[in-house]
Amino acid sequence: MAKAGPVYVCAECGAVHAKWSGRCDACGAWNSIHEEAPAAPGPGGVRLPRSHRAAILSDLSSTEAPPPRTLSGIGELDRVLGGGLVPGSAILVGGDPGIGKSTLLLQAAAAFAGSGLKCVYVSGEEASAQVRMRAGRLGLGQANVQLAAETDLTGILTMLDAERPDLVIIDSIQTMWSDAVGSAPGSVSQVRSAAHELAGFAKRRGSAVVLVGHVTKEGQIAGPRVVEHMVDTVLYFEGERGHQFRILRSVKNRFGPADEIGVFEMTGGGLAEVQNPSALFLSGREERAPGSSVFAGIEGTRPVLVEIQALVAPSPHSQARRAVVGWDGARLAMILAVMEARVGLPFTGLDVYLNVAGGLRISEPAADLAVAAALLSAREDAALPADMVVFGEISLSGALRPVSQTENRLKEAQKLGFSQAALPERSKAAEGTGVTLRSVPDLAAFAGSMFGAG
C-alpha cells in the first residue's frame, strides 16, 4: 500500500482533494479546503463487527409494526419530525451560531422527558451549570433531563451504553473528538467519525440521537453538510437575525415529508410555537402600499400566506442593484428578463429590492407571479387589491403554469379573509372556496388587467 500523505478536505462539503486550492470544485466554496491527517487505519476509527453473521432476510410484505413514535407536545416540532420522534433515529439540527439551537433542543429534551422518555443532554460548549441556568431561565429547572458537559466521544459512548437513554442531544457535533482520529477537533474527519459512532449507537440501542451542527463561515471547522448523508433526518433552524421568528425546516426525512416547516417566535422565556404562521407573516402589512403582494404558498404539507415586498427606484449607479432577501436572486433575474422581453417593461437603470416579509425563505416556483406582481406594483406605483392573493409559476415565454395544491392555497386565503386570487388559467380549483378567481393566461395579461401596463 502506498504511504498515506496528507489529504486536503473541504470543510463545507467534505470532498477530498489531492492538493490544496482556493476553491472547492465539488461545492464551489471558497477558502474551505485545508490539510488534514489521513484517516487512521486499524483499531479505533471505525468499529468492525466482531463476528460475521449471515445477513438476515425478511419479506417485504411482512407486517412488522412500524416503531412507535413519541410526541413532545410541541406541535411545531412534532410535525417537522414527521409526526413525532422515531426511536433509533439520528437527527441533525443545523443552523447559524446564536440562532437558538441550544435553546430549542433544551426545550425539546424537557418536553420529551415530560412525555416519559429518558433524556440526556450532552454539551460540549457549555458547563453543566450554564445549561442549568439556561433551563432555569426557560422555566424548565425541574425537567427530568440528565446533563453531561463532555467532549470526549469514547467517554460519552461508554456513558450512553450504560445509561441507555431514549433521547440523546449532542451539542454540538463539532466539539466532539476521539483520540482514535489523528486530526484536530472540528476537522472533517473528527466530525464525521463522531457522527458515525453516534448514529451507530442510535441504531444499535434504539435511542434517538440529535446532533447539533453549527453552520460555519470560515473553512477551518467542518460544517453540518459533511454529516447529512449519515443521518435519517436533517433539520435546519433558520431566521433573520433581527427578526423574532425562527423556522425549523426538514430538508431530508426518512420518516416523514421533507420541506416541512415549524414556526417559532423567540421570547424572553424561550421559543414559543406559532400555530397560525400566515397571520403572523401578514401582521404589520400596510394594505394599500404599492410594491406589496400576498403570496399563497405551501411549505411542506401546510399552506402559508406571506407578504412579498418590492422597491423599484432609479439607480444612481451605472450598474443597477438587485438585492433579494428570502428568495433566489437568479429567479429574480429571470422574472425581470421575462418582464422586459414578454411584457415590454424593462427594469434597466432601476434598482430592484425584493424582500419576503417575516424572515421566511421561499423556494417554490409558485411564488413567481407574486414576485412579478410586487415588482409591477412597485414599478407602476399602484397598489394591488388589498384582499387579493397571488400564485403561479412563470415560464420563459411569459405564460403562467398552474401549480400544485391550488385548493389548499385558496382555503387558507379564505380563512384569513382574502376574497380574490390571481392565478394561472387551467388551475385545478373547485368552485365554492368563497374566493373569486381571476385566472390569467400569461404575465402580459396579468400586467394589463391589474395595472393597465404592458
- DSSP states of 72-90 as a string? -S-HHHHHHTTSSBPTT-E
Please, what's the b/e burial string for 259-268 (b: 16 or more CB within 10 A of its CB; e: otherwise)? bbbbbbbbee
> Measured from the CB atom, is 102 or 193 closer to Mg ion?
102
The reply to whether 97 sits in an annotated binding site is yes
Q: What is the DSSP letter of 152?
A: B
CB of 65 to ligand TYD, least distance (A): 36
- C-alpha gyration radius of the chain: 25
Q: Contact between 174 and Mg ion (CB under 5 A)?
A: no
CB of 91 to ligand TYD, least distance (A): 15
Indicate which of Mg ion, ligand TYD, none lies near residue 154 (CB less than 5 to 8 Å, by partner kind). Answer: none
The reply to whether 448 sits in an annotated binding site is no
E-strand stretches of 228-279: 233-238, 245-253, 261-267, 270-273
Indicate which of ligand TYD, Mg ion, none lies near residue 97 (CB less than 5 to 8 Å, by partner kind). Answer: ligand TYD
d(Cα 432, Cα 438) in Å, to the nearest integer?
14
The reply to whether 102 sits in an annotated binding site is yes
Binding site for ligand TYD (CB under 6 A): 95, 97-103, 266-268, 270-271
**Cβ atoms 305, 281 nearer than 8 A:** yes
The reply to whether 28 sits in an annotated binding site is no
Name residues contacting Mg ion, limited to 14-73 (CB under 5 A): none
Q: What are phi and psi of 431, to 5 degrees?
A: -70, 165
The reply to whether 291 sits in an annotated binding site is no
Indicate which of ligand TYD, Mg ion, none lies near residue 334 (CB less than 5 to 8 Å, by partner kind). Answer: none
Q: What is the dihedral of CA 437, 442, 446, 452, to 10 degrees?
A: -140
The reply to whether 100 sits in an annotated binding site is yes
CB count within 10 Å of CB 331 equals 18
CB of 199 to ligand TYD, least distance (A): 21
Name residues contacting Mg ion, limited to 89-148 (CB under 5 A): 102
CB of 188 to ligand TYD, least distance (A): 21
Contact pattern for Mg ion over residues 397 through 436, marking x by CB under 5 A: ----------------------------------------
111: Cβ contacts below 8 Å, ≥ 6 apart = 72, 73, 74, 77
CB of 29 to ligand TYD, least distance (A): 21
> Measured from the CB atom, is 120 or 357 closer to Mg ion?
120
d(Cα 305, Cα 285) in Å, to the nearest integer?
12
Would you tell me which residues interact with Mg ion (CB under 5 A)?
A: 102
- Binding residues are 95-102
Binding-site residues for ATP sit at 95-102
